[in-house]
A and B are shown apart, each in its own frame.
Chain A
Amino acid sequence: MTDSTLAGPGATVEFIDVIKDFSGQRALSGVTLSVQPGEFVALLGPSGCGKTTALRALSGLEQVDGGSILIDGVDVVDVPVNKRDMGMVFQSYSLFPHMTTVENVEFGLRMRKVPATERRERATATLDLVGLGSLATRYAHQLSGGQQQRVALARALVTRPRVLLLDEPLSALDAKVRLQLRDEIRRIQTELGITTLFVTHDQEEALAVADRVAVMRDGNIEQIGTPEELYLSPVNPFVADFVGLSNRVAAENSGGIVTVLGTRLPLLGERQPDGPVTALIRPEDVELASDGIPGTVVASSFLGSMRRTQVRVSDDLVLSIQHEVGEHPEPGERVHLVLRGRPVSASPRV
């Protein structure tokens, strides 16, 4: 094992035009991405978009067919998996079942020939870091899902890798545990300053934890930016639709002005041809007002910190709107809606 373990956290990662084929299918079509030291980047997209493939290519578990991957400026194409010095957390079932928790965590250190006492110290310290110091002698099958993933995280971090890779680590967990663990992962990552790539199909998760999010589709990165940029300035309808909730409303585009439900709003993102389009309107951009688009309340859900209400405005359109808890529309009530003046995403309607 080289000294790269002591290179410390915070390596730069670059994908340059990376191509990967799987028996006839192109999984990555020229992915280019640059990650800063200590940055937390989420790879987000539907299944089959290539996000996991990109992660595995970085780890060395997959060989690329074109392009290069650089870590701290060095092309790692010929570096085998076990020499790339990365920490990887898998979706599930990756803890070694025949070893205790602390033995699992020690494993990477053992591979690097760290002496036993130092190994045990560092492993125990890292287990404490993830809050599982007291479970050091348990076996995987004695731990809950959330606990197992914490051990997996500790195991990946103890060797102070250059890059941390997380492949949908929270997908198999209960909702509450998922929230807790995602915040912890972010906290630890910030503390240690490790460059991190996080794959997920859950857009809420990506937006919540990442410094930047790369939305992927069919082997390409559609857009990469901060969560705010993606949410507020999606560069195309796919991104707009994938990130956050949207209402799809029939509208007309004319020279960059979209007329939807009688309101004229500027078009957001890529230019679209004039004519009929489908506009994407965020629920929080529709407000209850005393006058405006008339509609009837269909249902209203209390979501703790806000309300989401379905309002029927015509025979074939029910708008989802989001508002304060104080406003409490009842099913059947007649209300009026107003669209906020934000630019909207739109795509041609067939």
Chain B
Amino acid sequence: MSVANAPELVNGDAETSGSRRRPSGVPRRRRVGVVKYLGLTPFAIYVLLFLAVPTFIAIGTGFFDADGALTFDNVRALLDPVILGTFLSSFWVSAFTAIVGAVVGALVCYGLLDTRPDGALRSFVNSASSVLAQFGGVMLAFAFIATIGIQGLVTVILRERFGVDIFAEGVWLYQVPGLLLPYIYFQVPLMIITFMPALEGLKPQWAEAAATLGGTRLTYWTRIAGPVLAPSFFGSLLLLFANAFSSYATAAALISQGAQIVPLQIRAALISETVLGRSNMAGALALGMIIVMVVVMTAYSFLQARTARWQR
């Protein structure tokens, strides 16, 4: 406690009205900011009741049977070939649409690089992408029925103008393959939204430096832009996969009977009470889905962190 060259205290008398002096060195009792913590409770309670509790119930019911006894039957049923088959279907639909969506979406982002950042075109593409990515599954189903349904616009044109019958081998729109086109339709916009910031983050100085150092267009993209964009690209890819995997409404609207993919399997378990005789099957399926989602999203956030590092 050094005080060097301090001048005399002017108001030397401690009896100045209203002044309260504390003996030096005694730590004062801190008024605890309990009120601050109270401010967090509404959100905490809300999330607890409507996110945490339902999630635990969803996972938990898989471990109980209809009488409330603990059992692993439901979980074991996940390994049933039929159920495994639906997981597989979900996987390949999600993977396929994610890859196609990612590639096409990245291409659009590349095409957008030439437009002005605050221009009308980019703004429109952004908004349109937001809309299409949010395109509620039901409306999407309608759109595709209207396009490539049995009497769909494109179906009819192909049949009457080009003599091509796309449904010659059967009406696939209302089966799993019929999900591919609608899913791609919302995957591409989602890719645009998530990947565009990464492309915009490519500093023009890098391309210029590469050029002055003797690089070609190809080397710029394969050696510089490519590797820098890779974490973001694959991250977005994973996000697209997760998006398709967890998607329900489109499938529900197109495939009114049957349970060829996991979300539809959950629907079946919830609506009918005799899916393979196990009514808590929905819980087990939910558990299975969550495990897949957690793995995918963990990988995604790892890649996001990588991206953030390089974009600084």
Q: Do chains A and B touch in the complex (CB under 8 A)?
A: yes
B39 at the interface (CB under 8 A from A): no
A14:B26 contact, CB within 8 angstroms:
no
B11:A12 contact, CB within 8 angstroms:
yes
Return the contact of B10 from the options A34, A66, A68, A75 (Cβ within 8 A). A34
A19 at the interface (CB under 8 A from B): yes
Q: Mark A77-96, 1 if CB is under 8 A from B, else 0.
A: 10000000000000000000
B16:A73 contact, CB within 8 angstroms:
yes
**Chain B residues near A34 (CB-CB < 8 A):** 6-10
| Cβ distance B8 to chain A, nearest Cβ, rounded Å | 8
**Chain A residues near B19 (CB-CB < 8 A):** 70, 73-75
B18 at the interface (CB under 8 A from A): yes
B25:A235 contact, CB within 8 angstroms:
no
Q: Interface on chain A toward B: helix, strand, loop, or mixed SS?
A: strand
A330 at the interface (CB under 8 A from B): no
Q: Which 7 pairs from chain A and chain B are nearest by CB?
A: A30-B1, A17-B24, A73-B16, A75-B20, A223-B4, A73-B11, A220-B2
A256 at the interface (CB under 8 A from B): no
**Chain B residues near A223 (CB-CB < 8 A):** 4-5
| Cβ distance B26 to chain A, nearest Cβ, rounded Å | 6
Do A32 and B3 contact each other (CB < 8 Å), given the known contacts A66-B25, A66-B28? Answer: yes
A residues with a Cβ closer than 8 A to B are 12, 14, 16-17, 19, 29-30, 32-34, 36, 63-68, 70, 73-75, 77, 220-225, 229, 235
B36 at the interface (CB under 8 A from A): no
A220:B10 contact, CB within 8 angstroms:
no
A66:B6 contact, CB within 8 angstroms:
no
Q: 9 more A-B contacts (CB under 8 A) besides A33-B6, A66-B24?
A: A14-B11, A34-B10, A36-B10, A67-B22, A67-B25, A68-B22, A74-B19, A221-B4, A235-B4
Q: Mark B20-59, 1 if CB is under 8 A from A, else 0.
A: 1110111110110000000000000000000000000000
Do A75 and B21 contact each other (CB < 8 Å), given the known contacts A12-B11, A14-B11? Answer: yes
A67:B5 contact, CB within 8 angstroms:
no
B6:A222 contact, CB within 8 angstroms:
no
Nearest residue, chain B, Cβ from A270 = B4
Of B3, B16, B25, B31, which is in contact with the most chain A CB atoms at under 10 Å from its CB? B3
B28:A64 contact, CB within 8 angstroms:
yes
Q: Interface on chain B toward A: helix, strand, loop, or mixed SS?
A: loop
Q: Please tell me the size bucket of the interface on B.
A: 20 to 34
| Cβ distance B159 to chain A, nearest Cβ, rounded Å | 60
Do A235 and B5 contact each other (CB < 8 Å), given the known contacts A16-B24, A17-B24, A66-B24? Answer: yes
A73:B2 contact, CB within 8 angstroms:
no
* A66 to B28 CA separation, bound complex (whole angstroms): 6
B10:A65 contact, CB within 8 angstroms:
no
**Chain B residues near A19 (CB-CB < 8 A):** 25, 27
| Cβ distance B143 to chain A, nearest Cβ, rounded Å | 41
* A12 to B2 CA separation, bound complex (whole angstroms): 22
**Chain B residues near A73 (CB-CB < 8 A):** 11, 16, 18-19
Nearest residue, chain B, Cβ from A74 = B18
**Chain A residues near B3 (CB-CB < 8 A):** 30, 32, 221
* A32 to B21 CA separation, bound complex (whole angstroms): 13
Return the contact of B28 from the options A30, A77, A235 (Cβ within 8 A). A77
* A129 to B230 CA separation, bound complex (whole angstroms): 57
B2:A63 contact, CB within 8 angstroms:
no
Do A12 and B4 contact each other (CB < 8 Å), given the known contacts A65-B28, A74-B19? Answer: no
* A36 to B28 CA separation, bound complex (whole angstroms): 27
* A199 to B19 CA separation, bound complex (whole angstroms): 27
* A229 to B4 CA separation, bound complex (whole angstroms): 12
| Cβ distance A128 to chain B, nearest Cβ, rounded Å | 34
Nearest residue, chain B, Cβ from A218 = B2
* A33 to B30 CA separation, bound complex (whole angstroms): 23
**Chain A residues near B5 (CB-CB < 8 A):** 223-225, 229, 235
Return the contact of A220 from the options B1, B16, B26 (Cβ within 8 A). B1
Nearest residue, chain A, Cβ from B11 = A73
**Chain B residues near A30 (CB-CB < 8 A):** 1, 3, 24-25
12 A-B residue pairings within 8 Å (CB atoms): A14-B9, A16-B21, A17-B1, A19-B27, A30-B1, A64-B28, A66-B28, A73-B16, A75-B20, A75-B21, A220-B1, A224-B6
* A70 to B10 CA separation, bound complex (whole angstroms): 12
* A29 to B26 CA separation, bound complex (whole angstroms): 12
B30:A65 contact, CB within 8 angstroms:
yes
**Chain B residues near A235 (CB-CB < 8 A):** 4-5
* A63 to B27 CA separation, bound complex (whole angstroms): 11
| Cβ distance B218 to chain A, nearest Cβ, rounded Å | 42
* A75 to B16 CA separation, bound complex (whole angstroms): 11
A32:B6 contact, CB within 8 angstroms:
yes
